[in-house]
């Protein structure tokens, strides 16, 4: 098996990788490193979770280290563009971690934070600048950074850049950058608009791809639950009441939706926080840190805010709403099953979201197994239940938490399901392969999952 050493990674970086616990390069790292090392432009078709940050950061650090020179005042040698503040901050952290024994300088700039501090960080010049496009242009127009010395440009999550409307900013940045440079371009999907953007930035690029989007993150076990919109919150509480869900990322389509879901979770005594575009930078950082450290068990997020979330050990992704762009589904479920772990993605599908589900299944070329609502709403046994905090004398400080618990009946959410909790789902086959009348796989009462096409490990819900 190829090692980082065989890929030509230098000793100080090997030492840092060792400290990070990386023993083997991921497929994208094996493919990307030689290309970047020979100085070619690169298009990398890869989702987050594949190790793509190190795929570009390691050879860049090596090159800056081998050919040391001062960037010059208010200038940078490497520019990394990322769509969100979280992703930018994380990329900055990765460069610092992998390059900790090199003594290279890194600055990160994004909107919603102090311009002054960012100006100071760039004043003497930096080896690596990680930036979101809008804030970078603000600094360019205030002459706090110049881009004429950029040797290497990285565009990360280019498809998200387009989704977020950064196309004009990117075009503007392209005109300021020197032509003689190396460009590395990463995107999880490659629709036509991205190809056009790539053509504008890249010169005879070499292409690599890992885990094509149509095959969906392979290790993620998926399930969909058909449920009325008005019953989704109850269903969410029932699911999250189970201890096996150790760390869950819940996706809502809108910022208000995310807030609503989070507040109701909080009122019901769950350990939850929310992250979305209406939150201040401080709030977002605090929410992420709490989630990373395991202080918060559930993070409710919108698609955009979740882009930079790099939290290992997310056991479950729950799509409270299905995304209307099928590629986003792949991004979302890719938040679990990171760095070699397994994960579970459960999607709630209201009647008016069925078209989105069809689009997702068309893109991923696989049917998402249907999970019976009866199973998901069954009352967990005492040892499977999470303990929710209570106020003095066992009562919650929150009035809503003191109300009599709602009874969840399967019939509330699923017309055809059995009304009584704890009932076995309709079975037409043997124990190992349960299906309802429509032939959909259903989950059994003892928590055993339906037989998926790619079933590997016992499912944890
Ligand atoms: P990324 O796709 O860059 O967001 O990386 C996904 C996760 O994989 C991050 O948590 C990295 O720290 C981790 N990672 C990246 N490369 C490796 C590696 N070679 N071995 C183990 N973990 C890795």
24-52 pLDDT tens trace: 898 899 999 999 999 999 999 987 778 89
Say if residue 392's pLDDT is above 60.
Answer: no
433 or 143, greater pLDDT: 143
- pLDDT above 70 covers a percentage of the chain that reads 76
- Residue of the nearest CA to atom 19 in ligand 1? 25
Task: Give yes or no for residue 322 having a pLDDT over 90.
Answer: yes
pLDDT at 313: 79
Tell me whether the CATH fold assigned to 11-209 matches the one assigned to 220-384: yes
pLDDT in the model for residue 192: 86
* Closest atom of ligand 1 relative to the 90 alpha carbon: 4
**What confidence score (pLDDT) does residue 287 get?**
86
Is 70 exceeded by the pLDDT of residue 9? yes
Considering the chain, what percentage of its residues have pLDDT values greater than 90?
Answer: 52
pLDDT score, position 371: 85
Boundaries of every domain in the chain: 11-209, 220-384
Ligand 1 mean position to 50 CA, how many Å? 6
pLDDT tops 50 at residue 64: yes
Q: Which atom, in ligand 1's list, is nearest to the CA of 26?
A: 19
pLDDT bracket for residue 120 (50, 70, 90) = very high
Given the candidates 3.30.70.270, 2.60.40.10, 3.40.50.300, 3.40.720.10, the CATH classification of the domain at 220-384 is: 3.40.50.300
124 pLDDT above the threshold of 90: yes
Which pLDDT belongs to residue 173?
Answer: 96
- The reported pLDDT for the residue numbered 53 is 94
What is the CA(97)–ligand 1 centre distance, in A? 12
pLDDT for the residue numbered 443: 38
Average pLDDT over residues 307-335: 83
The CA 407 to ligand 1 mean position distance, Å, reads: 42
Pocket test for ligand 1, best of 9, 25, 26 (most atoms within 8 A of CB): 26
Q: Ligand 1 pocket: which residues have CB below 6 Å?
A: 22, 24-26, 29, 48-54, 310, 312, 338-339
Ligand 1 centroid to Cα of residue 201, in Å, is: 26
pLDDT at 242: 86
Please give the average per-residue pLDDT across 205-230, as a whole number.
Answer: 79
Q: Which of 13, 30, 54 to mutate to test the pocket of ligand 1 (most atoms within 8 A of CB)?
A: 54
pLDDT value, residue 16: 95
Which atom in ligand 1 lies closest to the alpha carbon of residue 94?
12
pLDDT the model gives residue 12? 97
Q: What is the pTM of this model?
A: 0.57
Q: How far is the CA of 33 from the centre of ligand 1 (A)?
A: 15
Q: State which ligand 1 atom lies nearest to the alpha carbon of 50.
A: 2
**pLDDT for 388:** 57
**pLDDT tens digits, residue range 160-195?**
898 888 999 999 999 999 999 999 999 988 888 889
What's the gap in Å between 226 CA and the centre of ligand 1?
A: 34
406 or 189, greater pLDDT: 189
What pLDDT is stored for residue 389 in this prediction? Answer: 52
* Whole-number average pLDDT of the chain: 80
Distance 135 CA to ligand 1 centre (A): 27
What is the Å distance from ligand 1's center to 32 Cα?
A: 14
Say whether pLDDT at 378 is over 80.
no
Nearest CA to ligand 1 atom 8: 339
204: which 2 tokens?
A: 């005879």
- pLDDT of residue 345 exceeding 60, the answer is yes
Q: Binning pLDDT at 50, 70 and 90, where does residue 385 land?
A: low
- State the average pLDDT over residues 125-144: 97
Domain 11-209: what homologous superfamily?
P-loop containing nucleotide triphosphate hydrolases (3.40.50.300)
């Amino acid at each position: 098996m190829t090692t980082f050493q065989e890929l030509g990674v230098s000793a100080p970086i090997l030492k840092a990788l060792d400290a990070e616990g990386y023993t083997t390069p991921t497929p994208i790292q094996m493919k990307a490193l030689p290309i970047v090392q020979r100085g070619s432009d690169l298009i990398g078709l890869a989702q987050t979770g594949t190790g793509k940050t190190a795929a570009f950061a390691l050879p860049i650090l090596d090159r800056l280290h081998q050919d040391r020179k001062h960037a010059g005042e208010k200038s940078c040698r490497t520019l990394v563009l990322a769509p969100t503040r979280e992703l930018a901050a994380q990329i900055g952290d990765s460069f610092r971690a992998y390059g900790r024994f090199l003594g290279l300088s890194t600055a990160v700039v994004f909107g919603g934070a102090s311009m002054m501090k960012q100006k100071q960080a760039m004043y003497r010049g930096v080896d690596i600048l990680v930036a979101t496009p809008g804030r970078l242009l603000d600094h360019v127009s205030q002459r706090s950074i110049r881009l004429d010395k950029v040797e290497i440009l990285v565009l990360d999550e280019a498809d998200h850049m387009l989704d977020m409307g950064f196309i004009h900013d990117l075009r503007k940045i392209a005109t300021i950058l020197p032509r003689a440079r190396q460009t590395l371009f990463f995107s999880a999907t490659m629709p036509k608009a991205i190809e056009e953007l790539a053509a504008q930035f890249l010169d005879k690029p070499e292409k690599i791809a890992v885990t094509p989007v149509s095959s969906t993150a392979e290790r993620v076990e998926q399930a969909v639950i058909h449920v009325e919109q008005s019953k989704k919150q109850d269903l969410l509480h029932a699911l999250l009441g189970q201890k096996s869900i150790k760390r869950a990322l819940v996706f809502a389509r809108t910022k208000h939706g995310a807030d609503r879901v989070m507040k109701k979770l909080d009122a019901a005594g769950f350990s939850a926080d929310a992250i979305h575009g209406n939150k201040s930078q401080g709030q977002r950082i605090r929410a992420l840190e709490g989630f990373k450290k395991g202080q918060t068990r559930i993070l409710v997020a919108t698609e955009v805010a979740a882009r930079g979330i790099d939290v290992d050990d997310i056991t479950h992704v729950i799509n409270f709403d299905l995304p209307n762009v099928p590629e986003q589904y792949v991004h979302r479920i890719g938040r679990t099953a990171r760095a070699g772990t397994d994960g579970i993605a459960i999607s709630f599908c209201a009647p008016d979201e069925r078209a989105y589900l069809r689009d997702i299944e068309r893109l991923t070329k696989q049917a998402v197994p249907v999970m019976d609502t009866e199973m998901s709403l069954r009352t967990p046994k005492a040892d499977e239940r999470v303990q929710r905090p209570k106020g003095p004398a066992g009562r919650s400080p929150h009035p809503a938490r003191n109300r009599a618990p709602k009874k969840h009946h399967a019939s509330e959410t699923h017309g055809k399901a059995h009304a009584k909790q704890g009932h076995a789902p309709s079975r037409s086959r043997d124990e190992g392969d349960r299906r309802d009348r429509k032939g959909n796989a259903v989950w059994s009462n003892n928590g055993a999952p339906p037989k998926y096409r790619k079933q590997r490990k016992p499912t944890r819900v």
